[in-house]
Chain A
Amino acid sequence: GQNIDQPTEMTATEGAIVQINCTYQTSGFNGLFWYQQHAGEAPTFLSYNVLDGLEEKGRFSSFLSRSKGYSYLLLKELQMKDSASYLCAVRDYYGGSQGNLIFGKGTKLSVKP
């Protein structure tokens, strides 16, 4: 089966660090994506991991462990504008799938002053 789990909601304080976890079980695996989605807007691409380890991009970092089926998105120096939903997605390659993305339900992050 295919399943992607992430917490429904999280709250953090401005200036702090927050880690959003994502676990996945898919038939195949060829990359994990994180998207940010502000309320009423389209998802925007944040990061991509296909190999184990940490990818850093400014205040945002994403980690992947393929053996554990686990990823996290780390947001540092939180700002009020980081209040948004964060979507974890896996590209699942199996016979005939064309490598389509499977999305988790998203984690709504609220940043408080």
Chain B
Amino acid sequence: DAGITQSPRHKVTETGTPVTLRCHQTENHRYMYWYRQDPGHGLRLIHYSYGVKDTDKGEVSDGYSVSRSKTEDFLLTLESATSSQTSVYFCAIKETGRGQETQYFGPGTRLLVL
């Protein structure tokens, strides 16, 4: 399972409240990613990190911020949650080996914004 955990696994919150999702990995991977998955859209990249304090935007970054203060943790923050951010959020790491780079996913966080 590439040693990835996400917390919380489920969350219900109200519009306008801040929310932080945590991704934790135990295998010292340099690259980490946050995706959201919605019906009819597939997986879309929100933000990614290529090292401690090194992050960049993905396809759907508006309304989200991230932080990576140590290798093992990548945090996704919704500063002021909106109903359009109701989604399933997946964290992923990139593993390099045997001539290829592969992304492996965490178990996901289901977020409902009321």
Most chain A CB within a 10 A radius of its CB, from B41, B45, B48, B101: B101
Q: Once the chains are docked, how many angstroms separate the CA of A100 from the CA of B44?
A: 11
List B22-77 residues whose CB lies under 8 Å from chain A. Answer: 31, 33, 40-45, 48, 50, 56, 58
Chain B residues near A106: list those with CB within 8 A. 42
List A60-113 residues whose CB lies under 8 Å from chain B. Answer: 87, 89, 91, 98-101, 103-106
Contact of A103 among B40, B43, B101, B102 (CB under 8 A): B43
**Interface check A29, CB cutoff 8 A:** no
Chain B residues near A33: list those with CB within 8 A. 102-103
Q: A31-B100, A87-B43, A103-B42 are in contact. Are A98 and B48 (CB under 8 A)?
A: yes
Chain B residues near A48: list those with CB within 8 A. 100, 102
What number of B residues sit within 8 Å (CB to CB) of A? Answer: 22
In the complex the two chains form, is A91's CB within 8 Å of B101's CB?
yes
CB distance from B103 to the nearest CB of A (A): 6
Most chain B CB within a 10 A radius of its CB, from A41, A42, A43: A42
Chain B's closest residue to A104 (CB) is B42
**Interface check A11, CB cutoff 8 A:** no
Interface of B, helix, strand, loop or mixed by DSSP: strand
In the complex the two chains form, is B100's CB within 8 Å of A105's CB?
no
CB distance from A37 to the nearest CB of B (A): 9
Chain B residues near A91: list those with CB within 8 A. 101
CB distance from B34 to the nearest CB of A (A): 12
**Interface check A50, CB cutoff 8 A:** yes
In the complex the two chains form, is B42's CB within 8 Å of A98's CB?
no
Q: Once the chains are docked, how many angstroms separate the CA of A41 from the CA of B107?
A: 7
In the complex the two chains form, is A42's CB within 8 Å of B107's CB?
yes
12 A-B pairs with CB atoms under 8 Å apart are: A33-B103, A42-B90, A42-B105, A42-B106, A43-B43, A43-B105, A45-B104, A98-B31, A100-B45, A100-B58, A101-B45, A103-B44
Question: Which 8 pairs between the two chains have the least Cβ-Cβ distance?
Answer: A105-B42, A103-B43, A42-B105, A103-B42, A43-B105, A48-B100, A42-B107, A42-B108
